[in-house]
Amino acid sequence: MKIQASFVKDGKWWVAWTDDVPGALTQGATLEEARENLADAVRMIREPVDLSKLPKGKVVIEELEV
The structure's pTM equals: 0.75
What's the pLDDT at 54?
A: 78
What's the pLDDT at 24?
A: 97
Q: Where are the domains of the chain?
A: 6-53
Among 10, 66, 5, residue whose Cα is nearest residue 35: 5
Cβ neighbors of 16 (< 8 A, separation 6 or more) are 5, 6, 7, 25, 26, 27, 28, 34, 35, 37, 38
What residues in the chain have per-residue pLDDT under 70?
A: none
What's the pLDDT at 23?
A: 95
